[in-house]
A and B are shown apart, each in its own frame.
Chain A
Amino acid sequence: MKNEPTIIAFCCHYCAFTAADLAGTMRKQYPTNIRIVRIPCTGKVSENMVLQAFVEGADGVMVAGCEIGSCHFIQGNVRAVKRVAHAKKLLEETGVNPDRLEFYHVAASQGPLFATTSAEFTERIKQLNAGGKASADTTSAETPQETVHDSSRT
């Protein structure tokens, strides 16, 4: 595995993307491994968007959306948390470590949090690439255990 991982960050336009922008404005540095893809809402993220990123060569994928209750589209982030949980199961089936995928809640005002979260996630992926086990990440969203069908329930 290469030393410098490629990490795709699907960031909600209304929160995490703005937070990433704010991190830059505040001169908070975050790893250059992070490739941000701006999306209108994390509710746009489907399981296959995530899987496809891995197929195309990503070492890790983070999905960053609004805090619960703050979604511009009311439920998008709630749906995304479920889909990410489902995508983790799909990844596990293939033999890819599901720790390579994580959902984070980052509000638009939390530029520093975006920077630290990105750094922590990058470190996790570097460890995994080196053959290590990912350490527990306290900033990740709690992802409920879902069945395949539950991922599409509201």
Chain B
Amino acid sequence: MIVAERKLFDDLYAKASKHKKVLLLGCGTCVTVCMAGGEKEVDILDSQLKLASRERGDDFEVTTHTIVRQCDDEFFDEETSRKIAAADAVITLACGVGVQFCSEKYPEKRVYAGVNTVFYGATVEQGLWEERCAGCGECIVDQFAGICPVARCAKSLMNGPCGGSSNGKCEVDKETDCAWALIVKRMKELGTLEELSEITLPKDWSTSRDGGPRRIVHESLRLDEGTKKEG
């Protein structure tokens, strides 16, 4: 999932207080799971803005709404559109995708990002999320016993570990596991360590970010021009 964390309250307050009516728009998917921008977090920010505006003597109205996903057209239903139309500005607590999608759908509305989108990751334990994927466009995880050196090695080394690996930890941060130490350990357990004796060639990064924003097209799923939904 996409993992995010809420922006600093003062930043959000500064944005909200510029308007008379502000809608806090939550997203019920990834940011709900990572406790950054779901219904609960929307309610917390709502309460905080109300308390702070009372303390600081500002006068603006805050309303809340959370939809299942902000990266899919179908969830921006009539109720959502009505609430967005009634507000002067929207602070969306969705990831960067949701913020952009909401802006595209409501071009006349000022849309602010309420969270910082940080990485694609997993819930390692309750309250702890870690990066697991870099979205490089060509998955090579199976070559490395299910541990991604692109996302989890600080240098994204294809042939590691480097000299900075010490007792299974990375020199960048003593709390961070060395991805290559994990790869070697796991491949030993699987009895496939021999495979590492072959040099992995430099990765083809053309599938990654170097060509600008990427697209995936499923022609079989696309609608004919005549059946596309308006707006």
Contact = CB atoms under 8 A, between A and B. Distances in A.
Interface of A: 46-48, 51-52, 54-55, 90-91, 93-96, 148-154
B55 A153 contact: no
A140 B127 CA distance: 25
Nearest to B48: A94
Contacts, number: 55
Interface residues of B, number: 21
* Highest count of chain A CB atoms <10 Å: which of B40, B52, B127, B128: B127
Contacts of A148: 5-6
Contact of A152 (B10, B56, B127): B127
A48 B44 contact: yes
B167 to A, nearest CB: 25
Interface majority SS (helix, strand, loop, mixed), chain B: helix
Contacts of B86: none
B126 A154 contact: yes
Contact of B55 (A48, A95, A151, A154): A95
B48 A93 contact: yes
B50 A55 contact: yes
A148 B6 CA distance: 9
Contacts of A48: 40, 43-44, 47
Contacts of B43: 48, 52
A153 B35 CA distance: 12
A94 B126 contact: no
A87 B126 CA distance: 18
Interface string B28-62: 00000001000010011001111110011000000
B106 interface: no
A55 B127 contact: no
Contacts of B52: 93-95
